[in-house]
Chains A and B, each alone.
Chain A
């Protein structure tokens, strides 16, 4: 079938999706020919050494820190997950080699839009399915997934992608927002899909969870932020952000691409400007004057960190002013993660349309970059 990667550089990996054979070439000579790899395990073990063109077109879509805080997993648009050792990269005698991935493997066939870590698992989404990997096994470089599940999609013609996942720790369930306009809830203990929240008229970009009130927030392409009660599955509120004059930016559209909540407050942005909402009164309190569309935002201590279009990380205050914009290497940033699992490796990592992941040890400047 279609050939996925191909370059004319000496090191070439030619992988076909429907694969009959995969060949590794070195300086034009076939190095090894593998047997028919129609099993995902074998496909996973064919770990590619990417040529420069692939690296140029790589985008990092998701990141997640390990529960011990020493490793970072990042997913890219080729369906690969790379594991980086933070303790090696942050140690005083770090070399250029310690800033490369310790393990890279192909996890899915499609881009990995979301990665999530629980106490012992790494959950990844790609090609409409969710796979779980054990962190201890990954650290030992064993790349066999524990399980792979797929939500019940109504249409079997095309497989909708899964854009975002969030854990609801109260009842140990996973909230999934995807391309089929629905929010699915998966019970992690029993492994069954508990319920489907329907209401969006276009695909869901991002989900977030309010623990205290056990509510789920979802933002989508249709510009609506819906607040669902997780117990009854009913849509409690529906906020159409683009209808508020202060936030709306019709030149960008009405879609919501980033959503995060801090129990009483919610940050949402995308087409409309990034805005801070008070959830009790459902009113926008501050609008952040950031150009470009924001793809991820998070609350950190007394600040808001936001990334999106533009090669920088914006630091904003809750009052609505932009305190600083720290430059970083990807031209357009997709994901931002803070390591809260470890006290010694408290770093901020940022990934986007580049094969480099920037690491900020101090929020004010970029310390170094990890590369895929």
Chain B
């Protein structure tokens, strides 16, 4: 980049008339134009391009650019000065140069920092994307879980409902026990009934025997009586006939 220190005032006049509305850092645009190439040297480049480029290069324009210009001005003055310059002059120039170098170094470090920050952001970005996908998967899992849990709950409730109904019916063991007890009672009673029946039979038979014996005896007695009577009648007939 050639530096034209010549014709500064001419450029100043020429440039002051141009309206620059857009950026907020047009304060030192005249300084830009003093230092950098005029558009006419670059051929077909438009004013806006130049403005943009210059703003990009040094947007703030407060400290650095002025320093460079001051340095250049003092250097040309020093070159063009007839006699020996003042003592502090060289010192001042060197210090300005050092300041410029320092600011350049600072800008380089900022650039490095920005690059590293970008990398960091990329990393965080991929991390977040991974988290999002894993969260999606977890959500799907949880939805499946919920479906399962609902099924389980439904089954449990059905079970409970049925259990409620079943509870209303009496316990099977109890009923079986009652049945057993009843069975035993039944058996006992039938046993007793059998016994009583047997006894009844026996007594019937005995009475039968007794009665039949009595009847026979009666018969025998009657027979005897009859035979006695017959004997007596025959005897009386025989007595009467003699």
Query: Which of A265, A284, A301 lies in contact with B158, CB distance below 8 A?
Result: A265
Q: What is the CB-to-nearest-CB distance from B65 to chain A, in angstroms, rounded to a whole number?
A: 52
Which of B158, B162, B164, B165 has the most CB atoms of chain A within a 10 A radius of its CB?
Answer: B158
Interface of B, secondary structure class, is helix
Q: Considering only CB atoms and an 8 Å cut-off, how many residues of chain B contact the other chain?
A: 12
User: How would residues 148 to 165 of chain B score, 1 for a CB under 8 Å from any chain A CB and 0 otherwise?
Assistant: 001101100110111011
B205 → chain A, closest Cβ, in Å? 58
Check if A286 sits within 8 Å of B161, measured CB to CB. yes
B161 contacts A285, CB within 8 Å? yes
Q: Is A276 an interface residue (CB 8 A)?
A: yes
Decide if B165 touches A318 in the complex (CB within 8 Å).
no
Residues 254-267 of chain A, each 1 if its beta carbon lies under 8 Å from chain B, else 0: 00000000001100
Q: Which of A264, A276, A302 contacts B153 (CB 8 A)?
A: A302
CB pair B157–A278 under 8 Å, yes or no, is no
A-B contact count (CB 8 A): 35
Closest to A281 in B: B165
Total interface residues on A, CB under 8 Å, equals 15
Q: Contacts of A286 on B, CB cut-off 8 Å?
A: 161, 164
Given contacts A301-B150, A301-B154, contact A319 B165 (CB under 8 A): no
Distance of A174 Cα from B32 Cα, bound (Å): 90
A281-B165, A285-B165 known; A318+B150 contact, CB < 8 A: no
* Residues in B whose Cβ lies below 8 Å from that of A285: 161-162, 164-165
Chain B residues with CB below 8 A from A319, complex form = 157, 160-161
Which 10 pairs of residues, A with B, have the shortest CB-CB distance? A318-B157, A285-B161, A302-B154, A302-B150, A302-B153, A301-B150, A319-B157, A283-B165, A286-B161, A285-B165
B contacts, CB < 8 Å to A: 147, 150-151, 153-154, 157-158, 160-162, 164-165
Residues of A within 8 A of B (CB): 264-265, 276, 278, 281, 283-286, 301-302, 317-320
- 17 further interface pairs, Cβ-Cβ under 8 Å (given A276-B161, A318-B161, A320-B161): A264-B158, A265-B158, A278-B161, A278-B165, A281-B162, A285-B164, A286-B161, A286-B164, A301-B150, A302-B153, A302-B157, A317-B157, A318-B157, A318-B158, A318-B160, A319-B157, A319-B161
